[in-house]
Amino acid sequence: MTEKRIRVRFAPSPTGPLHIGGVRTALYNYLFAKKHGGDFLLRIEDTDQGRFVPGAEDYIIESLKWAGITPNEGIGFGEGPHAPYKQSERREIYKKYADQLVNEGKAYYAFDTPEELEKLRKELEESKASNTSYSYHVRGRMKNSLTLPLEEVQQRIASGSPYVVRIKMPENEIIKADDIIRGHIEVNTATLDDKVLFKSDGLPTYHLANIVDDYSMQITHVIRGEEWLPSLPLHVLLYRYLGWESVMPQFAHLPLLLKPDGKGKLSKRDGDRLGFPVFPMNWKDPFSGELSSGYREAGYTKDAFINILAFLGWNPGTEQELFTLDELAQAFSLDHVHKAGARFDFEKAKWFNHQYLVKLSDTEIAKAFKSILAEKGITASDDKIAVICGLVKDRVNFVKEIWDQASFFFVAPESYDPEAIKKRWKPETPALLNGAKEVIQAIEPFTAQNIHDVLHGYIEKNQLNMGGVMVPIRIALVGTTKGPDLQVIMELLGKDEVIRRIEKALSLIKLP
């Protein structure tokens, strides 16, 4: 027997920007398909017109493109044999299944008005009923095709009065399901409600559309967030009711992403509050104009971003922490996805970015840093920028932080670290610096090695204190006692600039 080709899908609803939890779901689907030589498709689930947000679909597509999580089928990625991949363009497909379920007695038409439903909700709440939703306990006293005479039902439908289709949940049956991550699950239908499958606006709800599409797109594995686990019994029942149980996909519900302290789901507000992005790219809310920051614009490389996401809920079972997308696809397995929620660790996220940043060549980093310099109106040769990036990259997590570490290469300090002055600027410092200045003036060629040899020779010959001379020079050039090798800094600044900065420091730094 030939093995069935693995087919998975990422099925977001365009109700806002894609949260990083959503990108992780897409990534795990992508990795699973790659690992098994299968297909990964993108389907847009937009049947809830009330929650439609302009721009969200493009945002999803663009985010996946940036992260390199490329579907080989689906909307935004060249469509494919099951087009269209957007549910609002597939609306004719769903109605017949809703009708089929009604005709077979597995679903029914319901005509209750919003006011009647509200009244029911209040009543159930007040009576503290065990099941407070529209379920078998109450369906017998509501306005639906189970309670109304057939002619009235037909007449209502013919006259165009609004109705929905609800599933007729069995009264007391155990639904069994197996989840690859969570194991065996059993739920009694008495606890479930008669979910709406088809709405009065002529569109299916998520549940019906999702099952019909997974079936018709031949999906073999549904890998999605844990928030969909409560829907699983309903979905299993729908497969059975539609006669598709034998080809029902396998399910894997991924762990929630938790706040850094592990207390609750990671939300958009946590990002704002704690200062890290929870979205892949910047997003501007089209209604409120509110801005949310993204990993891309925060300066994360896409490789780091992928690596961060991969470890939020999965581990390779080895010590290896850095993985390319291809390596992840090799290593990935649903067996190593945890059940427990994955705590977001922002420090670790920065660590990942650092690891990828230092792997880049100095020229690559320089390309990105050059545009930061350009924004500040600073120009310098590509070679010089690359050397400077190479000197400080170990000290930064992001390209934009290079400026904090290397600004003195481009602009002379305007002020000097008061702590450094207090500790290292002594009454004899001006005389020592003037002496050193004379020596520096004569150094030729002005290379780091030569500067080192000449200055050290001078200090030793005159029995001066090494730190007493070199540290004030550093303060004059950098503004503080930190930074890369002083001789290298001097070579890059050039002799004239070094002299200028020493003179400037001598005139500005006054001891009390």
Of 328, 342, 337, 247, the C-alpha closest to 33 is 328
Comparing CB distances to ligand GLU, the nearer of 12 and 484 is 12
Q: What is the DSSP string of 399-422?
A: GGGHHHHHGGGTS--SS--HHHHH
Query: What's the closest the beta carbon of residue 210 comes to ligand GLU, in angstroms?
Result: 5
**Placement of tokens 């945002």 in the chain:** 59
* 22 or 479: CB nearest ligand GLU: 22
Distances, alpha carbon 191 to alpha carbons 102, 132, 133, in Å: 22, 9, 9
Q: How far is the CB of 227 from ligand GLU (least distance, A)?
A: 8
Nearest approach in angstroms of CB 24 to ligand GLU is: 12
Looking at the Cβ atoms of 45 and 226, the one nearer to ligand GLU is: 45
- Cβ proximity to ligand GLU, 222 vs 342, nearer residue: 222
Q: Which of 35, 65, 95, 268 is flagged as catalytic?
A: 268
Task: Please name which of 97, 109, 53, 92 lies closest in space to residue 202, comparing C-alpha atoms.
Answer: 92
Contact between residue 25 and residue 224 where contact means Cβ atoms under 8 Å apart? yes
Residue 176 pairs in a beta bridge with: 186
- At residue 456, the 3 state secondary structure works out as helix
CB of 49 to ligand GLU, least distance (A): 14
Q: Which amino acid, residue 80?
A: G
The strands making up 73-74's β-sheet, listed across from edge to edge, are 73-74, 39-42, 7-10, 221-225, 250-254, 174-179, 183-188
**Nearest residue to 30 via CA among 64, 81, 80, 75:** 64
Name the residue type at position 482. K
Is 4 labeled as catalytic in the residue annotation?
A: no
CB of 191 to ligand GLU, least distance (A): 21
- CB 221 within 8 Å of CB 231: no
Q: Interface residues with ligand GLU (CB under 6 A)? A: 11-13, 45, 206, 210, 222, 224, 228
> Least distance (Å) from ligand GLU to the CB of residue 164?
19
42 vs 406 by CB, closer to ligand GLU: 42
Show the tokens assigned to 423. 């500790």
Cβ distance 110 to 165 under 8 Å? yes
Nearer to ligand GLU, 337 or 386 (CB): 337
Q: Which of 141, 137, 149, 136 is nearest to 116 (CA)?
A: 141
Distances (CA, A) of 46 to 88, 200, 209, 223, 290: 6, 16, 10, 19, 23
Minimum CB separation from ligand GLU for residue 222, in Å? 6
DSSP 8-state secondary structure symbol assigned to residue 245: G
Q: How do 174-179 and 183-188 pair as beta strands?
A: antiparallel
Query: In whole angstroms, how close is the CB of 12 to ligand GLU at the nearest point?
Result: 5
Residues carrying an active site annotation: 268
